[in-house]
Amino acid sequence: MIRSLVGRVRRRLPAPAVRAARAGLLGWGWLTADLREPPGVIVVGAQRAGTTTLFRLLSEHPQLRRPTVDKGTGYFDDGYDHGSRWYRAHFPLRRPGRWRRTGFECSGYYLFHPLAAERIARDLPGCQVVAMVRDPVARAHSAHRHELARGFETLPFAEAVEREQERTAGHAELLAAEPGRVSFEHRHHAYLQRGEYDVQVARFIEALGPDRVHVVDADELFADPVPVYVDLQRRLGLPIHRPDSVGRWNERPGEPLPVDLVDRLRRHFDDHDAALAALIGRAPSWRKESLR
């Protein structure tokens, strides 16, 4: 009830008031950072793969506590130079004894950023991460619509994926070699690369170990939400909480893609989807027929 009221108030406030409120919350968080603790669970992405829906579900869990301002902090990707005190400032004050809960956040660029996994492993040695995966063709198309709506893209989808390698060439390597560097192209124009889940999930497994990396198939979550969400809670070691309803938040419906373009993009992901299936021990939902 309180979270819903806060959300409604935030949506009605003018932008300057929202910015001032955020600054005030983070300022107070900075001053009291020693009384706060970093999260025990992080949803690391993928972008446009149901992370907002999962964030809403986790926010309702009685044993979890969301960040005080936004759903994510962006600390382990572009914000790492801010330092650990800044990071802790985003989370609620620690509660004693039986009122203690686990903090969590949801930052969709972590899965793709080349340094996020090792940073999380180093700074949060007990943290568990959740990676959401979705049909990579549908994810790429949804991400393109998202970037268009935000003003970060001007090319039509077919041209954007055709020019992706040219636009993003060398950027991942620069991010890995120069901590503190940011890349607009890597973050906003890597439509196909962000759907190469095997590479990204393997990086997290290598850094954190397989027991701390939990992959959720977003298409399965939306097809039958409660059992998939309950299974995730069990893997995270949480008491089971069954939501009253599960929506699909932050969707951006669009026109269907041409069949020939879908077929071409599907072939691009053939090897990546097979490698993902080997990593998680099952075929992803969008490949269950073709990988049998």
pLDDT, residue 227, reads 95
**Domain 32-287: which topology?**
Rossmann fold (3.40.50)
pLDDT, residue 18, reads 62
pLDDT, residue 25, reads 79
Q: Rounded distance, CA 83 to CA 79, Å? A: 8
**Span 20-29, mean pLDDT?**
76
Residue range 183-236, pLDDT digits in tens: 999 999 999 999 999 999 999 999 999 999 999 999 999 999 999 999 999 999
pLDDT, residue 249, reads 60
Task: Find the helix packing angle between 270-280 and 259-268, rounded to 10°.
Answer: 50
The CA-based dihedral angle spanning residues 13, 106, 47, 73, taken in that order and rounded to the nearest 10 degrees: 60
pLDDT, residue 95, reads 85
Q: Is the pLDDT of residue 1 over 70?
A: no
Give the pLDDT band of residue 13 (cuts 50, 70, 90).
low
